Amino acid sequence: MDQVLTLLVIERRKAIGTGDTVFLRISKDGGSDSADIFSGSLDNGRYHPGNSHDINNFDGTLRIVRKGSKITTLYRTKGDKEWKDLGTFWSTSNDLEFGFLLLNFTIKRTSITAKAPITATFDNFKINAAEEIIEGDI
């Protein structure tokens, strides 16, 4: 069974694919022990890839940081002090909305046999308006 978690920010009052969208995704294909984390953006339906890293049994923190018209996607594995950058994307300076998706199958699948659930725990979820991010607060 596939397991996919996607966090995204999208231009307010726009459908995915019609406005500026930036996403951060953890994905594990069914039948595989490997998983990856990657980012990307959609600009009026045009896909712009970010960076990708192989990860297994991810336990950590995801971060999306907006500064003006730039949005940076980051992650940190539990116990690590340094954030890993998955890409910075140009986006709108208009208001954004936040969302997430949990899937146990991807679009390419025609059927699934669900033997294990997908689980995401949101702990210490924050949306900050700040000039500076203080690591001790996260």
Q: How far apart are CA 122 and CA 60, in angstroms?
A: 11
Q: How far apart are CA 45 and CA 61, in angstroms?
A: 28
Q: Across all residues in the chain, what is the average pLDDT? A: 80
Domain ranges of the chain: 3-126
Cβ atoms of residues 91 and 20 within 8 Å: yes
Residues in the chain, total: 138
Interval 77-100: pLDDT, tens: 889 999 999 999 988 888 888 888
Name the DSSP letter for residue 122. -
Least confident of 13-22, 39-48, 65-74, 110-119: 110-119
Question: Strand order of the sheet with strand 84-90?
Answer: 60-67, 70-77, 84-90
Please state whether the predicted TM-score (pTM) of the whole model is above 0.85.
no
The DSSP result for 71-104, as a single string, is EEEEEEETT--SPEEEEEEE--SS-EEEEEEEES
